[in-house]
Structure 1
């Protein structure tokens, strides 16, 4: 007997023994529509917002560079740091006090340092040499630290072998100094390694009067004049501290330094000279502070400083 109907009967859904629905043909999942792209108007708004954000970031970066203090030393060039160096030299000239003899040096630029392994730079330094009593060097460091601006954070350390001064003139301009010989203190103001740049100032030129006095001094000391330089720095109280540096040489010991200098520049204002040895002499004359260093092999370095 043949069956007249197909199994399962089309009019009997669920007649499968397991109650499952039957489907003849390929089964596919639901169709997912592709994501809609933003309309042209919305895309333009996104572009405008992105450009505005970039402009705002650039403007804020410009303001930061112009107005914010540097956070690392190499954010300022030697040329940009030079005014801070000059100011610190003037502050040291005041802090040395009226009972010392000082001289300031000009700009010393040294190339070849490394900012990073692939970036080279240069350093800018200026020295301030201060003469005092032979045993008064450590106490002079204390007085200088007390008289420097509080913002410098000056500190002094006294040890068995060394007495040192440290301070920060701002924007990573360092002040370092110490007693280098009995009665002699040398303080260096330096920028550390920075990107090179023009200093923006020219070294002051010596006048005819500067040359005349320097030549007279060297001749009186039994030497010959080789060159004259001038160094200046602004004083925080107004005015300028100015040093004339005369370099030369002589053969032989020559006359005692005091016998030569006092007749030229007047008697010592504050009693005896602060330093009086065979190779070094320093005292305050009527018009200027005078110091002479007679180095090895006949070298002579003399300074005349007009204080603040």
Structure 2
């Protein structure tokens, strides 16, 4: 007689498959549809009303007025200094991503500063800038550096460029172009006369300015800089400009000669073979 024992396997357990033809409850279908409509509405409102959360969501054309206004704030904070606005620069060679081209906007202001007083002047200007910028100055191995946030992902920096000159830069970083940036136009005012006077003193040929650069002041006025290049210079520039400065320039170094005359700030960039002269009417600080 065989004594073999036959093993018995337990029957499978677990949920039964749904019956053929079963449907989701109507309330669940309605709730899902309502949630989809609500999510779409919230997304549309966020895109239309919420501020950008990253720089790549803000176009160059939208950031342009912020940059222009920041330049005006810097000129106003410079007080009785000798500023000079540089023409805007748009770099179209940057990329937002491997698949998207972009552009960046940079504007700058040069400020003549007595040698040795650069850090103190940077700190003074940082205190005068809008509180929302959270501007501050720190000492780095390369010297004092000012940094601030003008809003809309626009950065503001300031540093000594050469002896007797500080450069402030306002930069958007790379972002979509949008409708592009337009600097606007402004007619030269009394600064044109101061420029022509300096050009004649340097034995340059009289004529209109090579460029006119402007920015809106916080109080509603307009800061303007007119610029001309004198090449070649027949006389020692410092000696030629000294009578216009009344013998007491704000800054006099081998690279910079700056003075104020009749409410206009004049800054001469003394280069080896030419002089770049800027005349600026600023903002009331």
Q: Is the 8 A contact 2:72 2:283 kept in 1?
A: no
C-alpha deviations, 1:187-224, integer Å up to 9, x for none? 10000010113346443144487666544532331224
SS at match of 1:139: helix
Residues 1:203 and 2:184 aligned together: yes
Change (3 A) 1:253 1:160: farther
Question: What does the per-residue CA deviation read over 1:81-113, in whole Å, with 9 as the maximum and x for residues that have no partner?
Answer: 112112211221222222x11122232111111
- Answer yes or no: is 1:290 the counterpart of 2:232: no
Give the unaligned 5+ runs of structure 1. 1-29
Q: 1:258·1:281 contact (CA, 8 Å) conserved in 2? A: no
**CA drift at 1:75:** 0.6
Secondary structure in structure 2 of the residue aligned to 1:166:
strand
Q: What TM-score do you get using the length of structure 1 for normalisation? A: 0.75
TM-superposed CA distance for 1:262, in Å, is 4.8
Instruction: Tell me, yes or no, if structure 1 residue 132 matches structure 2 residue 108.
Output: no
| CA displacement 1:8-41 (0-9 Å, x = unmatched) | xxxxxxxxxxxxxxxxxxxxxx9x85233469xx
Aligned length: 268
3-state SS, counterpart of residue 247 of structure 1: strand
Q: Which of 29, 44, 48 pairs up with 1:66?
A: 48
Aligned to 1:23: none
Partner of 1:83: 65
Contact in 2 for aligned 1:206/1:230 (Cα 8 Å):
yes
TM-score with structure 2 length normalisation?
Answer: 0.80
Are 1:214 and 1:228, in contact at CA under 8 Å, matched by a contact in 2?
Answer: no
Q: CA RMSD for the aligned pairs?
A: 3.1
Q: Distance in 2 between matches of 1:211 and 1:90?
A: 19
Runs of 4+ aligned residues of structure 1 deviating over 6 Å after TM superposition are none
Which residue in 1 is equivalent to 2:155? 174
**Corresponding residue of 1:35:** 21
* Paired position in structure 1 for 2:213: 231
Q: Per chain length, whose mean CA-contact separation is higher, i.e. which structure has more relative contact order (CA < 8 Å, sep 6+)?
A: 2
Q: Give the match's secondary structure for 2:280.
A: strand
Task: Please list, as runs of the form range in 1=range in 2, the aligned pairs for 1:154-165 lying within 5 A after superposition.
Answer: 154-159=135-140, 161-165=142-146
Shift of 1:273: 1.6
Q: Is the 8 A contact 2:202 2:233 kept in 1?
A: no
Gap change, CA 1:125 and 1:73, over 3 Å in 2: same
Residue in structure 2 matched with residue 22 of structure 1 by the alignment: none
Q: Which sections of structure 2, spanning at least 5 residues, go unmatched?
A: 1-15
Corresponding residue of 2:79: 97
- 2:151 is paired with a residue whose SS is coil
Which position in structure 2 is the counterpart of 1:244?
225
Cα separation, 2, equivalents of 1:221 and 1:245: 16
Looking at structure 2, the residues matched to 103 and 227 of structure 1 have their Cα atoms a distance apart, in angstroms, of 14
1:274 offset after TM fit, Å? 1.6
What corresponds to 1:114 in structure 2?
A: 95
**Contact 1:145–1:165 (8 Å) recurs in 2:** yes
Q: Distance in 2 between matches of 1:300 and 1:281?
A: 11
Q: Which residue of 2 aligns with 1:9?
A: none
